Structure 1
Amino acid sequence: MYFKSKIRMEVHRYFIYLSYDGSNYHGWQIQPNGSSVQECLMDALKMFLRKEIEVVGAGRTDAGVHAKQMIAHFDFERKLDVDKVCDKLNRILPHDIAIHKVIEVNKEAHARFDATARTYQYYITTRKDPFRRNYAYRLYQSLDILKMNEAAQILFEFEDFTSFSKLHSDTRTNLCTIMQAEWTEVDEHTLVFTIQANRFLRNMVRAIVGTLIEVGRGKISLEEFRKIIEEQDRGLAGASVPGQALFLIAVEYPESIFNL
């Protein structure tokens, strides 16, 4: 008797490095009633590779939020010419999504769970500028940047950021480790807040920025800011700022995932 041997397909995992203007999307994650970046990327891969491809992102950006660097992974049952994949995807995808590189990684590597740090920036402008309306939050008064930076330093004292988390989210823990949090002046009309952490909660950056703005306006003192975090109550923190001024800047991984 002869038996057909089963050929085991070797699965290859690939990281996609991309950027996008989030103005026309309902965020990264696939939505039932709205266009998403994840859906566009999956459709482009399906068109090129001629099969359904699942894409997993490093995180979820909300509606209108942009990414200068997002990382996503997908699997395929044969080795791909990564330069060709990059070129073809850029030809297929809309003008507001760009692929910068595609690389093969360790088969166990995970774009979301293996990320060790994520960095966001939030832009504020005090000048009306029609060319920045989708990329900065317009304020009509000056802020005390020194006080805002003093308050930002208080963030390092804590790990539980329930006060800045979206209510009724599906997260298992509200613990995060913040490695950087500071305001800088880009020019006389522009401020940027840079924050880096090992992970972020839903709406966390926008809630922190909204609360720090209240500190900069003199409506919340440094001790009140500390108390807001200690109380772990979202209702005590400031309102979330609009998403269009928020950018995912970078996602970092351990070198080991790139060892094939």
Structure 2
Amino acid sequence: MNQRTQRIAVLGAGVMGVAITTLAIANGLPVTLVDVDETKLATAPGRVRKQLRMAALMGSAPKGRVAAIEVTTSVYDLVGVTAVIEAVTELPELKAKVLADVTAVTAPGTPVVTNTSAIPVDELASAVARPADLAGAHFMNPPYLIRTVEVIRGPRTGDAALSKVLDLLAAMDRESIVVADGPGFVINRVLQRMINEAARIVQEGVASPADVDALFRGCLGHRTGPLATADLIGLDNVADSLRVLRDRTGDDGYEPCALLLDKVAAGDHGRKTGRGFYDHGEVHP
């Protein structure tokens, strides 16, 4: 992929959209970031700069020229983009609408990537103008620190689209592992159930969040435990993903537990709000 001729659209200026934008521009790929929320858009460049500094401190920032970032509220500004990455909230109806809108203005053959956490790619493909152009790429948070990406090939994903998505991820210096479609794919089919059970253990008074996570780190070698991971993902996103998995698998084990729902209702969504299972201090835009 020739970075000089690329312009990527990232849909959604939330946690993942900004982080994916950071990853792309750090690797020399210019980005047009789209969101209907003008407040989020106004703060997005500052959040990207902060993450670029963090990536540099962690030794994961490439030593090349950082590409430009533009922001817009209109998908009509995306005519001519060479790839699209969708990273809006994990709500099926919202994702379907955003993907339908963007594929109406992009050229045939433009790869469109959904960063869905749990919604089957083929379900979203029914909403787009060209299902063969759609694939999934489940980035881990933060994507500029975690190199491996779970790539999902839907039943209607074309060979050309998959090849372009893999080339795009390679240009971002990511390692791709391609899996088949299905609710939650691999990572979240396992991880979200684990988070839910860990939250239920805390709810029942069996152990504190710190002790749950310490056991996973000390006994199983995890870098972070399930509840610290949940705070990083965002507890609202965890609850949304669990509902998707429950509805599409029929497995009641994915029903979000009461403690998780109580925290979401209280606005304690994890790192992005300053409090979740842990207290993360004051949040700055």
TM bucket (normalised to shorter chain) is under 0.3
TM-score normalised by structure 1 residue count? 0.25
- Which protein has greater RCO, CA pairs closer than 8 Å, 6+ apart? 1
TM-score normalised by structure 2 residue count? 0.23
Which of the two has greater helix per residue?
2
**Greater Rg by CA:** 1
